[in-house]
Structure 1
Amino acid sequence: MSNETPLFQFQGPWNVPVQVNQSLIFLILIIVGFNFDPDSLPYALGFAAILIVSILLHELGHAWGCLIQGVPVKRVVLYGGGGFCEHRRSTTSYEDELIVAMGPIVNLTLWAVCSLLEPHVKSPDLGWVLAVTADLNLFLALFNMLPLMPLDGGRLFHAALNRFFQPQTATRIAGFVGIIGFLLWIPMMIFAYVAFGFIFIFFPPLMRHSHMFRYARY
Structure 2
Amino acid sequence: MPVSPVPLVLFFSACLAPQAELTFEFTHCYGGHMLLPNWRIGRALGIPIHVHASWFVVFFFVTWSLATGYLPETLPGLSAPRYWGMGGIAALLLFLSVLLHELGHSYVALRYQIPIRQITLFLFGGMAHMGKEPPSPLAEFLIAMAGPFVSLILGAGCLGGAMAVESLFARSGLQGLVVLWSLLGMVNVQLGLFNLVPGFPLDGGRVLRAGLWAWNKDFNRATSQAALVGIVFGVALGLIGAVLMV
Give the TM-score category using the shorter length: 0.7 to 0.9
**How many Å apart are 1:188 and its aligned residue?**
2.1
| Residue 21 of structure 1 pairs with residue 52 of structure 2 | yes
TM-score (norm. length: structure 2):
0.70
After superposition, the Cα gap between the structure-2 partners of 1:16 and 1:179, relative to the gap in structure 1 and judged at 3 Å, is closer
2:66, 2:189 → 1: CA distance? Answer: 23
Per-residue CA deviation, residues 151-195 of structure 1 (Å, 9 max, x unaligned), is 11111111111112242653443233223212212222235556x
| Residue 79 of structure 1 pairs with residue 122 of structure 2 | yes
Q: 1:156 is matched with which residue?
A: 207
Q: 2:158 is matched with which residue?
A: 114
Unaligned runs of 5+ in 2: 1-28, 69-78
| Residue 105 of structure 1 pairs with residue 157 of structure 2 | no
- Residue type at the aligned position of 2:40: F
**How many Å apart are 1:35 and its aligned residue?**
5.5
Which residue, out of 85, 97, 101, partners 1:54? 97
3-state SS in 2 of match to 1:3: strand
After superposition, the Cα gap between the structure-2 partners of 1:26 and 1:191, relative to the gap in structure 1 and judged at 3 Å, is farther
- Residue type at the aligned position of 2:41: Q
| Residue 176 of structure 1 pairs with residue 202 of structure 2 | no
| Residue 127 of structure 1 pairs with residue 170 of structure 2 | no
Name the structure with the higher strand share.
2
| Residue 41 of structure 1 pairs with residue 72 of structure 2 | no
Name the structure with the higher helix share.
1
Q: 2:73 is matched with which residue?
A: none
- Residue type at the aligned position of 2:58: L
Unaligned runs of 5+ in 1: 195-218
TM-score (norm. length: structure 1):
0.78
After superposition, the Cα gap between the structure-2 partners of 1:88 and 1:178, relative to the gap in structure 1 and judged at 3 Å, is closer
- Residue type at the aligned position of 2:60: L
| Residue 65 of structure 1 pairs with residue 105 of structure 2 | no
C-alpha RMSD of the superposition: 2.3
- The equivalences for 1:139-150 within 5 A come to 139-150=190-201
Q: 1:207 is matched with which residue?
A: none
1:21, 1:183 → 2: CA distance? Answer: 28
Q: With a CA cutoff of 8 Å and minimum separation of 6, indicate the structure with the bigger relative contact order.
A: 2
After superposition, the Cα gap between the structure-2 partners of 1:193 and 1:5, relative to the gap in structure 1 and judged at 3 Å, is same
**How many Å apart are 1:61 and its aligned residue?**
0.4
